[in-house]
Structure 1
Amino acid sequence: MAAIATVRTAPLGTVETLRRIDGLLDRLDTGDVRGGAAAALSLGEVDRLIARLQSVRLSLVAEADRSEIASGSGLTGTSAWLALSTRRDGGQAARDVRLAAALDSDLPATRAALAAGDVSTEHAHVIARATAQLPDGLSLHERAAIEGDLVRRARLVDPATLRKEGRRILSATERSRAEVDAHEDHVLRAEEEAALAKSRLTWHHNGDGTTTGHFTLPSLAAAILAKTVQQIASPRRFAQRAATVAKAAGAGTRAEVEVATWDAFRTADGDWAHRYGKAFVELLEHLPTDSLSGKVAATVVVTIDHDRLEAAVGAAHLDTGQDLSAGEVRRLACNAGILPAVLGGRSVRLDLGRQERFFTEAQRTALATRYDSCAAHGCDRPYAWSELHHEDPWSRGGRTDLAMAVPLCGHHHRRAHDGRYSHHVVTDVQGRKTVTFALRR
């Protein structure tokens, strides 16, 4: 009887294995994939292999973190080292380090599933976050059951669905519905508070009549904004307007009107991003300000000569520092949030003496025709940001007259009332004031 020899191959090292994979990719020919079914099968296999390689990568990150490799290079930590080594965003590098540490120490089932290519790194991030949010007092057995349930669901659903289900993951243990509901509520409240803390809005004037901005909002606020903009830009709304135009242009039958309407819609306003941009402009131009405290503080004041307004030729000036054409001012004159200050028009009583403690919105509007910015010397904060300060303090008998109003930004208004500083006001021949400050000795 012949003996059967068993050949055992020694496992390859990590570096050698990765080099062989790299070499095999050089020999890969995707041209041999024909047909949708074959492409789908190959795509699934690619995703599985990517997940397995991501598992290797995270294991290496965890080893680098344990070895404190960053300390030898003078960097602040593993996240900084990873960002520099892989040319990745610092925030993403920090997320990778946290996930690598969690997989290495607390999530054996998730680590095994990722290594097998059964789940993606996005799923692993969701599982790590869901288990980190679990309440104190759970046993090791309960935590293992919860992780196992999350891994099983990760094989079947996308990360967004898994994230929702993870909020009620206590149901995988023998906990009451009230406890599950309480945990879900706690997780949602924590997410909402964190989202609000991350809210940001920035903008940059490009110098060509446009402004570029970036915002980060809680998902609810973003959903409200998106639904509003989409409604304004919707084809149905556009079609109603275009149908009216088509009828007026002589389109006779209903079919002719529909064809003319949708032809106009397809050719108007370019792509969807542009349509949404125009819808956003329309939304901002019609924001109501009557319910705000200090309506004029949230109102754009447009200053223009009466003759220019009638002729629709020339420039108008905004209290935010920009200029507009006279024709654009005429378009905006009826919109909420736009207040025209027409020089040479009917006057409003603006001197109130001792009758009123605070300056009125009419006075604030009138001053927008004189000032572009805060009255403090060298300050370029726009007039729209300013607060009206009494040149002669009200507490000492000062009057709430237009001639006594000094627009100061919040910083300089506080300084005007700071006893450590003295200030001096100079009024020019056109009635504009300039305030200089000096530290008292």
Structure 2
Amino acid sequence: MEGTTATECREAVRAAAAHLAHLRAVLFQVPCAELAALAGELDELARQSDATAVAMVVEVDTRGVVAQSTAANTPDWLMTHMRGLAPGEATRLARVATACRDPRNRRLAEAVLDGRVGTRNAAVALTEIDKLRPRLAAGAEEQVVGWFTQVAADGFPKHLRELRSRILAMHGHEDAFQREEDLLKRGCSLSKAVHDDGMSDYHLRLDPEAAAVLDAAIDPLSAPQPSDEGGPDLRSPGQRWAEALLEVCRRAAAAGGDAPTTTKSQVIVTMDLDSLRAGLGHRTTLTGELLAPETVRKLACDASVVPMVLGGDGGVLDVGRLRRLVTPRLLAALWVRDAGCTFPGCTRPAPWCHAHHVRHWVNGGPTDLANLALLCARHHTVVHQRGLTATVSSAGVAWHT
């Protein structure tokens, strides 16, 4: 497109709009095999349109166009000339354009203007970056903006919001993450509303530590179970979670002050002993909650110290061939390493998975971490049916599919 003038590009834009309007009437002529390609073309067109709109607003702001008009501000000007734009969308577009002129946002601005990051993700990233800036250690800001840019290119708003705690833990001022986590505890609450049909709504807000405890208690009990006919579990996820929570309450009430516990109801957090003693660092639970050092130290007050022998390659708890079944300690180590089903693309959490011998027991496979992998029930069946093999290392499991 080098050498093409702005006038020629605008003429092409008008022609493209006319062609799109006509395309809707002749879509039936597009072969089924080409519909996927058309979807990609429309997506690219939308991305470039989004990026060009931001670039246009940058020009509007730079040239003082709004000040020369009767519009109250940039969003007002945009809604006057882009009739399909809602107030919130106009405000978001104006904000992203303003942020693109800030040298501190250079990497994010480049991604937006290249069409790699849409305005929706860019706006969420900017909100999170602005919250973090005052609390970041010196020299970390550029790297943090880069991380948000990478996630914004491929992820969704929730992925961007999830970055805040991790970045604060890694690059925040001293004790910033611990202070934020301590403040979150004040926001824990439980409210109840009773409806005319007799049902009750409970709204529960928990800090990361409390959420980890609740998840560890109800996850094993909420796993799908076959129906009476041997078919799939007919309960919705919400129903399974509600019944699991009720079961935990019933067990606690029946046991009085001494409720029973099992391996699967433990909160597992890995942290080296020196960091635990010094109150430094941070770690993640199996269900994804990031915990500050003092929070982990508090959890350790109520936990038994379980020694895990680490080999040179990071192997833990080598049980050898003394027993075929996975011990509770070995299973806990497996949960920590794999975090969930290891089959490519599967997101089933660790408590819902089986410990699978990569090299079968009957073929001489030992029961140790170097020969075990977590698999959900479905992929455990797939692996056995297809006879799949895997490479196990201290970093995890790589299946040869």
TM normalised by structure 1 equals: 0.38
TM normalised by structure 2 equals: 0.41
Larger Cα-atom Rg: 1
Q: Which has the higher contact order (CA 8 A, sep 6+)?
A: 2
